[in-house]
């Protein structure tokens, strides 16, 4: 058996409301609130980045896994906002959690899919017997260009999963991938903000790949939507995951626990992994969970997990995602947000 | 050990000396000192300077200053102990003479701090803290002393007014000192309205950034008798260190280096703190003077605040402290401060302090410290 | 170039590694050459739990070079449950509301960067222990 032995998340405490951003750019807030089902988003503090969110999420995962970090043989950090262009985030994480020096580590990038990429590799490395435990993290402090639609959703957060073979809290049942070359969103080297294809990011991109991955894994396992207790989709906003869930025949009860974007925003590589973590926070032993990521470029990874008896034992060892998301929030205005996100031109 | 005497002092007007360089102000103070002593003889020179490197991009003051003075072959050395560099330079000059290595040793303290921006100066000063475990994390000196102030207020009930009483007293004294950087009185209201720097310390709780220099000439008691000025006898010298990081101390309200250096100096002089008539102490922040009063043993721990607001330390109090105006009003060119304290004690003991002259004094104490009291040096001076 | 000086301290800055004297069990953070309590040089490395309380604190409103974008920020001496006291920033809070004795917990944070092209320095900071 292969699966998850511990999971943990980290969400910055700062939030900005959609109205606050809309006010600055003369945009219509209700359009974003109703149209994209977005109300507010997380904002990283000036002393947070993809590496710090990753470490703090991984330390929460270790609290749940209760394993010796030196036994972690592989660390993968998926992000599109690695703090360095050249120099791994994974080494920072490995050092901070105490996994160095006998560890394989790599930084991954695939727009919003880099987190589940790490999960896919970690699970298969453990399955192969190459390492006893592997850590996969999806983390981002994404930036949308000022005034662009993405600015209303680009948020920050991280989810970390430790994969192993024994004492599982969720067992991996199957995986499937769906990939094509579809340039719906990108950021060129040396550029600060990404660009996107507008409505092209919808039907030929997000919906095609998510649907393709779900159809493929259901076909492969001979399962149907109502076999699952929960489903989690990548959530670039609050609208796309709801639309695709309905289109595929999933119900609110299945997708709501993992739908975080209306008050979290899009945490990119952290998005569907964080939705998955929120679902593990409430799942009962024996629940089947379907997780589908999406990354522009484009592709989706699909996973089926089944929770075990151990889930009830470990979940209270670290803060739950909903606690991090809903409690102790600090709201900031656009000026502070612009300063925090280094959108203000300074002399040097 | 030979007996020591101070036969000359030299002090220039402190402030933002835009037109003068570090070498110029050092030479001016030395020149005034020699004039005061009535001799040109210098066998050795010690230079108290915290950071010519960071403030001026200039190390090697031991060559620079004698060279500019026109006395390029004087054996000179720079002494560094952060803000206690000046006091340590005086102590080292004393060792030169006491040991018989030199008969006339001059200690000059100098710091030229306005060649860099305020931010850069804050950084330079913070190098006196533990670089890896304090400064790295963004703490500043006002921050370190603010933490002591907060703890003092928490434990002993020290009040905002008591902190202000130190500031008001020192500015009053400084208003009578023509060499002071800020020779004016201030009110409690002005302290309260000054910007917060690091809670609870406000701008007017903090000593300023200053350019300044000071010098003292030391010789043997025997030689001193040959010269024109009334010699002042150095009867006690004490020096001690403590952990550099405030967080390493078991009790951050116990200034162990100050206690130990005071005890040593008093023991050498054969005196108790009750025999001391006045003191010049290192009031880099208002809270520092309160804590030093306690460390000297003038008052019990926790009573420094009340003693200050009760007037114990005023010019007419039972134990006048910082008649010069202290670091607060006179200025704090870090490496010069410890030397200038000696200058003030000598001025008072000679009876040359003008409007701020203390009455009926024979024995004075100077206390100069580095960082958050990671080093401290105490001198006891007497009129003969 | 601050890289070697930063890198050398990583085990302490990232993981709160402290030195426990094998003779008298006193814990030093950071480690010392010999035990300040008993003088022994025989230590074992331990990892601090990262939990503690504020022993004293302040708010830095005028920052040194490299910290200007963070002002005003909380700064305090945190007394760890194991004994050692650590000087650190207190982040993710309104520093005006901090009180002596408040419970604190370790977080891994960015401390500063060596300009826009230099190394990024990370270390411990503390945040109020509110369960998130």
A residues 61..120 contacting C (CB < 8 A):
83-84, 92, 95-98
Distance of CA B25 to the CA centre of its chain: 18
A313-327, B68-82, B120-134, B297-311: the lowest-pLDDT one:
B120-134
Mean per-residue pLDDT for B85-103?
98
Assigned superfamily of B138-207+235-383: Thiolase/Chalcone synthase (3.40.47.10)
> What is the distance in angstroms between the Cα of C36 and the nearest Cα belonging to chain A?
27
In which region does residue B109 sit, left (phi positive, over 0), alpha (psi from -120 to 50) or beta (all else)? beta
What distances in angstroms separate CA C19 from CA A68, B134, C6, C83, one per listed residue?
20, 18, 19, 12
CB contact under 8 A, C109 and A48: yes
What is the pLDDT at residue C1?
55
The structure tokens 């020192």 sit at B170
In chain C, what are the domain boundaries? 3-128
B163: tokens are: 């902190």
- CA trace torsion B8, B14, B18, B24 (10° rounding): 10
Active-site choice (B83, B206, B284, B343): B83
Determine whether the interchain pair B119/C86 forms a contact, defined as Cβ–Cβ distance below 8 Å.
Answer: no
- B141/B229: higher pLDDT: B141
Q: Which pLDDT value is given to residue A348?
A: 66
Q: Tokens in use for A71?
A: 């036994």
Using CA of residue A126, residue A129, residue A133, residue A138, what is the dihedral sign?
A: negative
Going by C-beta distance under 8 Å and a sequence separation of 6 or more, which residues neighbour residue C8? none
Q: Which of C108, C125, C132 sits opposite A96 (nearest CB)?
A: C108
In terms of DSSP H, where are the helices of A66-181?
89-97, 114-128
Which two three-digit tokens encode residue B271?
């005196």
Q: Which pair of structure tokens corresponds to residue B206? A: 């903090």
The residues of A that are catalytic are: 80, 112, 234
Shortest CA distance to B367 belongs to which of B351, B379, B358, B356? B379
**Minimal C-alpha gap between B126 and chain C (Å):** 8
Chains that touch B (3 or more CB pairs under 8 A): C
Report pLDDT for C116.
86
pLDDT for res A284: 98
Active site residue B332: yes
Q: What are the tens digits of pLDDT across the range A184-201?
A: 999 999 898 999 999 999
- The Cα A326–Cα A312 span in angstroms is 22
C-beta separation of C76 from C98 below 8 A:
yes
| DSSP character at residue B179 | T
- The distance in angstroms from the start CA to the end CA of chain A is 54
Q: Are strands B105-112 and B375-383 parallel, antiparallel or unpaired?
A: unpaired
* Residue of B134, B154, B201 lying closest to C87 (CB–CB): B134
Mutate which: B143, B206, B241, vs C, most C CBs within 10 A: B143
Q: A3 with A305: CB under 8 angstroms?
A: yes
The superfamily (CATH) of domain A170-307 is: Thiolase/Chalcone synthase (3.40.47.10)
In the DSSP assignment, the letter for residue B231 is P
> For residue C120, how many other CB atoms are within 10 A of its CB?
16
Q: Are C61 and B195 within 8 A, CB to CB?
A: yes
CATH 3.40.47.10 segments of chain A = 3-168+326-340, 170-307
Count of residues in chain B: 384
What is the pLDDT at residue A347? 81
**What percent of chain B has a predicted confidence (pLDDT) above 90?**
97
Determine whether the interchain pair C65/B134 forms a contact, defined as Cβ–Cβ distance below 8 Å. no
**Is the ipTM here above 0.90?**
yes
CA distance A310 to A314: 7
Nearest to C56 among B122, B130, B150 (CB): B150
Distance of alpha carbon B158 from the chain centroid? 24
Beta bridge partners of A307: A170
How far apart CA C48 and CA C124 sit, in angstroms, is 12
Do the Cβ atoms of B281 and B296 come closer than 8 Å? yes
What would the two tokens of residue B202 be? Answer: 């406000």
Q: H/E element holding B296?
A: helix B286-296
Partner-chain contact C132 A328, CB within 8 Å = yes
Selection from B265, B360, B379 nearest residue B319 by Cα: B360
Query: How would you list the strands of the sheet with C43-47, edge to edge?
Result: C27-28, C17-21, C43-47
3-class secondary structure, C34: coil
Distance (Å, whole) CA B141 – CA B244: 12
Query: Which chain A residues contact residue C110 at CB under 8 A?
Result: 46-49, 51-52
Contacts of B147 in chain C (CB under 8 A): 56-58, 75-77
Q: Per 3-state DSSP, what percentage of chain B is helix, strand, and coil (rounded to 5)?
A: 40, 20, 40
Judged by DSSP in three states, B49 sits in coil
pLDDT in tens, A211-256: 999 999 999 999 999 999 999 999 999 999 999 999 999 999 999 9
Q: Do B136 and C111 touch (CB under 8 A)?
A: yes
Q: Is A touching C (3+ C-beta pairs, cut-off 8 A)?
A: yes
Residues of B in contact with C99 (CB under 8 A): none
Instruction: Mark whether B and A touch (3+ CB pairs within 8 Å).
Output: no
Which of the four pLDDT bands, split at 50, 70 and 90, describes residue C66?
Answer: confident
Cα B213 from Cα B334, distance rounded (Å): 9
What is the average per-residue pLDDT within A45-74? Answer: 98
Write down the CATH number for the domain with range C3-128.
2.40.50.840
Rg (CA), chain A: 19
Question: Which H or E run contains B202?
Answer: strand B201-202
Any catalytic annotation for residue B83? yes
| Residue B95 confidence class, pLDDT cut points 50, 70, 90 | very high
CATH topology of domain B4-117+210-224: Peroxisomal Thiolase; Chain A, domain 1 (3.40.47)
Helix axes A271-280, A114-128, angle to 10 degrees: 60
Six-digit token string for A286 = 């024996």
> What pLDDT is attached to residue B377?
98
Determine contact, residues B254/B41, Cβ cutoff 8 Å: no
Smallest CA–CA distance, residue A87 to chain C, in Å, is 10
Q: Cβ(B115)–Cβ(B333) under 8 Å?
A: no
- Which residues, 6 or more positions from B269, have their beta carbon under 8 angstroms from its beta carbon? B235, B236, B363, B380, B382
Chains near A with 3+ CB pairs less than 8 A apart are: C
Q: What is the mean pLDDT of residues C93-103?
A: 97
Give the whole-number percent of chain C exceeding pLDDT 90. 91
**Average pLDDT, whole number, for chain B?**
97
Structural contact between residues A67 and A164, judged by C-beta atoms closer than 8 angstroms: yes
Torsion of CA B339, B345, B349, B351, to 10 degrees: 90
Do B and C touch (≥3 CB pairs < 8 Å)?
Answer: yes
Residue of C122, C123, C128 to mutate, interface with A, max A Cβ within 10 Å: C122
Going A162 to A167 to A173 to A174, the CA torsion angle's sign is: positive
Predicted confidence band of residue B227 (pLDDT cuts 50, 70, 90):
confident
How sure is the predictor about C69, in pLDDT bands with cuts at 50, 70 and 90? confident
CB contact under 8 A, A52 and C122: yes
CATH number of A3-168+326-340: 3.40.47.10
Asked whether the predicted pLDDT for residue A120 surpasses 70, the reply is: yes
**What does the pLDDT look like over C8-53, one tens digit per residue?**
999 999 999 999 999 999 999 999 999 999 999 999 999 999 999 9
Residue C8, number of CB atoms within 10 A of its CB: 11
Say whether residue B372 is in contact with chain C using an 8 A CB cutoff: no
Q: Which pLDDT belongs to residue C2? A: 81
Question: Do A264 and A155 form a contact (C-beta atoms < 8 A)?
Answer: yes
Q: pLDDT digits over A5-54, tens only?
A: 999 999 999 999 999 999 999 999 998 899 999 999 999 999 999 999 99
Q: Which of C10, C14, C109 sits opposite A47 (nearest CB)?
A: C109
- Using CB atoms, pick whichever of B120, B199, B252 lies closest to residue C58: B199
Partner residue facing C62 (CB), from B130, B140, B200: B140
Q: What is the pLDDT of residues B278-297, one digit of tens each?
A: 999 999 999 999 999 999 99
Identical fold between B4-117+210-224 and B138-207+235-383:
yes
Is residue B274 classed as helix, strand or coil in its secondary structure?
A: helix
Strand order in the sheet with B76-79: B76-79, B44-48, B105-112, B211-220, B4-11, B232-241, B375-383, B363-370, B278-280
């Amino acid at each position: 058996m292969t699966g998850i032995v511990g999971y943990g998340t980290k969400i910055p405490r700062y939030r900005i409301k959609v109205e606050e951003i809309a006010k600055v750019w003369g945009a219509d807030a209700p359009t974003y609130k109703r149209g994209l089902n977005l109300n507010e988003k997380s904002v990283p503090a000036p002393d947070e980045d993809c590496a710090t969110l990753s470490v703090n999420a991984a330390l929460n995962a270790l609290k749940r896994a209760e394993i010796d970090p030196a036994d972690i043989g592989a660390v993968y950090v998926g992000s599109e906002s690695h703090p360095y262009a050249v120099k791994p985030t994974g080494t920072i994480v490995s050092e901070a959690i105490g996994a160095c020096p006998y560890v394989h580590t790599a930084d991954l990038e695939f727009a919003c899919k880099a987190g589940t990429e790490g999960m896919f590799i970690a699970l298969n490395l453990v399955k192969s017997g190459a390492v006893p435990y592997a850590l996969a993290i999806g983390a981002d402090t994404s930036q949308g260009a000022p005034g662009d639609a993405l600015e209303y959703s680009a948020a920050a957060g991280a989810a970390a999963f430790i994969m192993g073979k024994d004492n599982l809290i969720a067992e991996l049942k199957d995986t499937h991938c769906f990939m094509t070359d579809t340039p719906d969103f990108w950021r060129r080297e040396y550029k600060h903000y990404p660009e996107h294809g507008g409505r092209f990011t919808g039907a030929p991109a997000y919906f095609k790949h998510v649907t393709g991955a779900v159809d493929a894994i259901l076909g492969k396992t001979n399962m149907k939507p109502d076999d699952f207790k929960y489903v989690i989709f990548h959530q670039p906003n609050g609208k796309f995951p709801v639309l695709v869930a309905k289109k595929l025949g999933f119900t609110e009860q299945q997708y709501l626990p993992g739908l975080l974007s209306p008050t979290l925003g899009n945490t990119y590589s952290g998005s569907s992994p964080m939705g998955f973590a929120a679902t593990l926070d409430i799942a009962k032993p024996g629940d089947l969970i379907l997780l589908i990521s999406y990354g522009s470029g484009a592709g989706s990874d699909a996973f089926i997990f089944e929770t075990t008896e151990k889930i009830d034992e470990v979940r209270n060892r670290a803060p739950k995602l909903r606690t991090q998301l809903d409690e102790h929030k600090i709201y900031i205005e656009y000026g502070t947000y612009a300063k925090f996100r280094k959108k203000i031109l300074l002399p040097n | 050990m030979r007996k020591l005497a101070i036969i000359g002092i030299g002090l220039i007007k402190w402030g933002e000396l835009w037109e003068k360089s570090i070498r110029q102000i050092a030479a001016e103070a030395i020149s005034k000192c020699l004039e005061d002593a009535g001799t040109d003889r210098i066998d050795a020179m010690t230079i108290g300077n915290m950071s010519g490197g960071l403030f001026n991009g200039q190390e090697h003051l031991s060559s620079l200053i004698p060279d500019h003075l026109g006395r390029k072959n004087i054996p000179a050395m720079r002494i560094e102990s952060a803000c206690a560099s000046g006091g340590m330079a005086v102590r080292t000059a004393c060792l030169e003479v006491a040991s018989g290595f030199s008969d006339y040793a001059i200690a000059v303290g100098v710091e030229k701090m306005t060649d860099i921006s305020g931010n850069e100066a804050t950084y330079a000063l913070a190098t006196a803290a533990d670089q890896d475990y304090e400064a790295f994390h963004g703490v500043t000196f006002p921050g370190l002393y603010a933490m002591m102030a907060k703890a003092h207020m928490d434990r002993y009930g020290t009040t905002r007014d008591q902190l202000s009483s130190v500031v008001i007293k020192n500015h009053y004294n400084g208003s009578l000192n023509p060499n002071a950087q800020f020779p004016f009185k201030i009110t409690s209201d002005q302290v309260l309205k000054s910007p917060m720097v690091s809670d609870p310390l406000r701008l007017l709780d903090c000593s300023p950034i200053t350019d300044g220099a000071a010098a003292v000439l030391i010789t043997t008691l025997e030689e001193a008798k040959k010269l024109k000025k009334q010699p002042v006898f150095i009867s006690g010298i004490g020096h001690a260190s403590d952990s550099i990081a405030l967080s390493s101390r078991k009790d951050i309200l116990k200034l162990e280096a100050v206690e130990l250096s005071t005890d040593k100096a008093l023991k050498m002089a054969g005196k108790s703190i009750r025999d001391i008539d006045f003191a010049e102490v290192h009031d880099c922040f208002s809270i520092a003077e309160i804590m030093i009063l306690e460390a000297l043993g003038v008052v019990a721990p926790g009573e420094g605040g009340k003693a200050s607001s009760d007037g114990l330390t005023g010019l007419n109090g039972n134990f006048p402290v910082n008649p010069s105006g202290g670091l607060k009003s006179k200025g704090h060119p870090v490496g010069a401060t410890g030397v200038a304290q000696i200058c003030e004690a000598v001025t008072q003991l000679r009876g040359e302090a003008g409007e701020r002259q203390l009455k009926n004094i024979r024995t004075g104490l100077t206390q100069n410290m580095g960082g958050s009291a990671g080093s401290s040096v105490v001198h006891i001076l007497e009129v003969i | 170039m601050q890289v070697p000086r930063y890198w050398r301290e990583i085990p302490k800055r990232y993981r709160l590694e402290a030195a426990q004297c094998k003779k008298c069990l006193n814990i030093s953070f950071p480690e010392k050459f010999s035990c300040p309590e008993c003088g022994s040089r025989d230590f074992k490395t331990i990892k601090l739990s990262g939990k503690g309380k504020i022993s004293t604190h302040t708010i830095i409103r005028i920052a040194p070079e490299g910290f200007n974008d963070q002002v005003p920020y909380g700064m305090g001496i945190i007394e760890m449950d194991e004994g050692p006291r650590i000087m650190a920033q207190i982040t993710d809070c309104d520093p005006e509301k901090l009180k002596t004795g408040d419970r604190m917990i370790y977080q891994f944070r960015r401390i500063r960067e060596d300009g826009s092209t230099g190394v990024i320095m990370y270390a411990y900071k503390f945040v109020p222990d509110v369960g998130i």
